Chain A
Amino acid sequence: MFGDYSIGDLGSIFVMQGFAGLILFSVYVLMALGLAIIFGQMGVINMAHGEFMILGAYVTWMTSNVFQSYLPSLFSGYFFLAMILAFLASGALGMLVEWVLIRHLYKRPLDTLLATWGLSLMLQQAYRSIFGAREVGVELPQWMLGSLHVTDSIEVPINGVFVMGLTVLITIAVAYIMFRSRWGRQVRAVVQNRIMAGAVGINTAKVDRYTFALGCGIAGVAGSAFTMIGSTGPTSGQLYIVDTFLVVVFGGAASLLGTIASAFSISQTQSTLEFFMSGSMAKVLTLLAVVGILMLRPQGLFALKVRK
């Protein structure tokens, strides 16, 4: 499989595929971060997570259209507003869903799976009715197009670099919120012992609602970033949901670091393999490896030691 390439070529291939893997990594991390909060912390299996992401993507698309028609002079900066709007829209929908649906099901995690799957079907159909069945793509501002030439054989696209920078920022923000802020401490307290947390005066229902909303909001931002590297259709979210769950489970559900490490290893394996074989076989091998490792080590890469 390596025979036809020289050492230098191979190096470039690994760097370029590695970079393609990094972009996939960014999307995985952004999606998995939201899921790690919702699934890892709250134990809710949110099968509609992909649809929250796609909501963010559609919000970004609408924002770009509005800017194109009414504010062409500010078009180069629309993306930042779009991300905030995507966060708010997905977060608001998440809050509504938590209030209507999820809060009745905290004691039945497997049933949240079925209910949110129903929700995802409804959201998909809603997107199809509102935005049409065809995939849409946003127009990128000028400064995001093109690529950076690192050496003769290595070049990296600018939008990819931007997405990665964004991922790093959001990861740091989430880590700060969850592990340094007062609110994050409340979230973790509620997760670890709901009754005790309530007894010391934490409003657990409110914490639940905002935690779920935060997870969905991050999914919205993920969708916003997703528009820069792919087009958006009503069912795009579903393509990523199983991968994302595997990323979270593989990393060890409650560990943020584990999520990042597993997103990195899965995306890198997949994109490197993709160069040497068909995309579908690369995916099969990656998923098989993940499932195989999970069978040997069900608690995931980074497991928290908890007393059950």
Chain B
Amino acid sequence: MNDSRFTTRSELIGILVLAVFLVVILPLCLDVFRLNLVAKYLTYAFVALGLVICWGYGGILSLGQGVFFGLGGYCMAMFLKLEASSVENTKIQSTPGIPDFMDWNQITALPFFWKPFHSLTFTVAAVMLVPGIFALIIGAAMFKRRVGGTYFAIITQAVAAILTILIVGQQGYTGGINGMTDLRTLKGWDIRPDHAKIVLYFFEVGLLFACIFIAQFVRHSKLGRILVAMRDQEDRVRFSGYSVANFKIFAFCIAAIFAAIGGAMFALNVGFMSPSFVGIVPSIEMVIYTAVGGRLSILGAVYGTILVNFAKTSLSESFPELWLFGLGGLFIAVVLAFPNGLAGIWGDYVQPRIDRLIGSRKPKSGAGWTDDSVADGAPAE
């Protein structure tokens, strides 16, 4: 596929179908509670999107996406928490005007790094900049020294462990294991009632499509092709004169920023943020969303996230014992049998039939929402 257009026609159809699904069908079919659940799932879809670029195209498996999700989420939660702990709301505390968990931990003044979070502008900037800069530092340290593959995965995992322990340990500054709860208003606008949830849902879907378009742009630009080339033959790209490390850092930072946006939306939609979305287990679960959806498919990642989370909610509601077996089995099945996930199945079996039905002239173009380069440097054998 050597067109550098922004999207191909069938991709545009795919995006439109997803848009209709998210904007029209789901809000019509689901009550507000379920819609809020979908909103929660979609926050992970941001992470999965980032992983498609970073892992699927760039070949960099990060097991620390929870770190960025958490950083974004905590930045947002700090702003909301400060607004919720105004002086009149916290009259009963020994120090009014600071978040409740600080008061419980005998902290009497707002720590310096909390102060800028009074401003919404700063918060929105921080949601993207803090994780972005953090990813830049990690990425620069690792990729400039040509650390990659499994080592990178393990080190990002260690970073996730460190951040979780730190958040849990520094209870007075972060809310500890309970996280930041009881978030109420955004600039005076209550985020808890049903109509606010619906507004937030549509806002989130809008952001998600913005991210999808950015991802599409990256993928179809020259940059995206260098990323794929780098994944498949790193040395050749290096010998051609490209700075492999810089491209990797870029992919990693984009993934981190997407994850952070997801985290911030999580804090808004769900109304709390806790270290249980930062650590190793959630980070790996985020990878599996991408793997199930298809690590090479931008739209597949969104569908995969919704599907796995929907299965998780319904299975763990009715058969809590079976859920872990199911999730574990899913990991193994996806890796062994379907390395390209749902999108791979779609591209291999469903798309050709649709093409034949419509009578398209290019039956095996594979230009659906799967990528052409299914080979992945990791043959399915």
Contacts and interface: CB of A to CB of B under 8 A. Distances in A.
Given A114-B331, A118-B331, A280-B168, A242 B284 contact: no
Contact of B150 (A110, A129, A290): A110
Nearest to B379: A107
B154 A249 contact: yes
B37 interface: no
A122 B142 CA distance: 33
Interface in A95-118: 101, 104-105, 107-111, 113-115, 117-118
A151 interface: no
B168 A245 contact: no
Contacts of B336: 101, 104-105, 115
Contact of B327 (A105, A118, A288): A118
B321 interface: yes
A246 B335 CA distance: 24
Nearest to A283: B165
A45 interface: yes
Interface of A: 43, 45, 101, 104-105, 107-111, 113-115, 117-122, 124-126, 128-129, 238, 242, 245-246, 249, 278, 280-281, 283-284, 287-288, 290-291, 294-295, 298
Contacts of A104: 336
A248 B62 CA distance: 19
B280 interface: yes
Given A122-B329, A125-B324, 10 more contacts: A43-B150, A113-B150, A113-B153, A118-B328, A118-B332, A119-B328, A122-B325, A238-B280, A287-B161, A291-B158
B307 to A, nearest CB: 16
Interface in B135-191: 141-142, 145-147, 149-151, 153-155, 157-159, 161-162, 165-166, 168-169
13 contacts: A105-B335, A107-B378, A111-B335, A114-B288, A118-B329, A245-B158, A284-B166, A287-B161, A290-B158, A291-B155, A295-B147, A298-B146, A298-B151
A279 B379 CA distance: 45
Contacts of B98: none
Residue of A43, A121, A288 with most partner-chain B CB within 10 A: A121
Contact of A121 (B169, B331, B334): B331
Chain B interface size, under 10 / 10 to 19 / 20 to 34 / 35 or more: 35 or more
B178 to A, nearest CB: 15
B331 A110 contact: no
Nearest to B138: A295
Contact of B378 (A108, A238, A249): A108
A139 to B, nearest CB: 29
B280 A111 contact: no
A11 B153 CA distance: 40
A115 B153 CA distance: 14
B159 A291 contact: yes
